[in-house]
């Protein structure tokens, strides 16, 4: 979470610029505020389990970030946490299942399908790549690296898409030609996971 907060802070201007092009220009500010609050909450009362880290992070994002991305990222983290065993360390296969539980929560809450130009287009490929890497015998390091690569490719692939969910969908065809801000922040978060794995 600290690494994710650092990555979001470092690229907050980029996220805001991307959101200014096809949304309302607050994505970097939203997430920077949210992840700063997440780190503060975790440092104040450090949880004993990975599950509780994710649940606390999700709850914090939900309460501190307005707009679409707070509830969506918040519910993803909470669902991922709830899918984990209550232990201080988790196995890569547990994390693979948790990532998919988080993705399911995103799709349930936001209703976005692959190709709708949202964070799902980065998160989906990342969760799949993580799971496939684990199934192929990779540990956390290899699986997180594969997920980060897939998330970055997925975020890049949103550029030619027309948005069908979120604010960008109001632009219709004018949303084409811009990378989705939420898919971009998802790629940053998976890269942060890879960096510390």
DSSP state of 118: S
Runs of H (alpha helix) within the chain: 2-10, 12-22, 27-44, 50-64, 69-82, 92-110, 120-135, 140-156, 181-196
Q: HSE of 35 in the Cβ direction (CA atoms, 13 Å)?
A: 25
- Using CA atoms, how far residue 118 sits from 15, 22, 155, in Å, is 13, 12, 9
128 binds ligand ADP (CB under 6 A): no
Q: Find the part of the chain contacting Mg ion (CB under 5 A) among 16-24, 128-136, 142-150, 184-192.
A: 16-24
183 binds ligand ADP (CB under 6 A): yes
134 binds ligand ADP (CB under 6 A): no
33 binds ligand ADP (CB under 6 A): no
Among residues 53, 106, 150, 194, the one that binds ligand ADP under rule CB under 6 A: 106
Q: Cβ distance 38 to 62 under 8 Å?
A: no
84 binds ligand ADP (CB under 6 A): no
23 binds Mg ion (CB under 5 A): yes
Residue 106 site contact among Mg ion, ligand ADP, none (CB < 5 to 8 Å, cut-off depends on kind): ligand ADP
- Of the candidates 152, 189, 145, 182, the one whose C-alpha atom is nearest the C-alpha of residue 165 is 182
Least spacing, CB of residue 170 vs ligand ADP, in Å: 10
- Of the candidates 32, 36, 56, the one whose C-alpha atom is nearest the C-alpha of residue 46 is 56
CA distance 128 to 118: 16
67 binds Mg ion (CB under 5 A): yes
Residue nearest to ligand ADP (CB): 182
By beta-carbon proximity to ligand ADP, the closer residue of 70 and 81 is 70
Among residues 58, 92, 154, 166, the one that binds ligand ADP under rule CB under 6 A: 166
Q: Cβ distance 99 to 130 under 8 Å?
A: yes
Binding-site ranges for ligand ADP (CB under 6 A): 19, 23-24, 26-27, 30, 67-69, 72, 106, 110-112, 118-120, 165-167, 180-183
Binding-site ranges for Mg ion (CB under 5 A): 19, 23-24, 26-27, 67
């Amino acid at each position: 979470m600290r690494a994710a907060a650092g990555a979001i802070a470092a690229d907050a201007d980029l996220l805001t610029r991307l959101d200014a092009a096809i949304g309302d220009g607050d994505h970097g500010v939203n997430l920077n505020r949210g992840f700063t609050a997440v780190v503060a909450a975790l440092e104040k009362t450090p949880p004993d389990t990975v599950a509780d880290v994710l649940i606390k992070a999700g709850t914090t994002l939900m309460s501190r970030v307005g707009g679409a991305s707070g509830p969506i990222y918040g519910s993803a983290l909470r669902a991922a946490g709830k899918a984990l065993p209550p232990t201080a360390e988790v196995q890569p296969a547990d994390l693979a299942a948790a990532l998919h539980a988080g993705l399911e929560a995103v799709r349930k809450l936001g209703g976005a399908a692959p190709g709708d130009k949202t964070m799902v287009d980065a998160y989906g490929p990342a969760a799949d790549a993580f799971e496939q890497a684990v199934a192929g015998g990779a540990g956390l390091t290899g699986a997180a690296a594969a997920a980060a690569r897939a998330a970055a490719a997925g975020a890049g692939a949103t550029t030619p898409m027309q948005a069908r969910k979120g604010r960008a969908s109001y632009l219709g065809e004018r949303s084409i030609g811009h990378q989705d801000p939420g898919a971009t922040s998802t790629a940053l978060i998976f890269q942060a996971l890879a960096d510390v794995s």
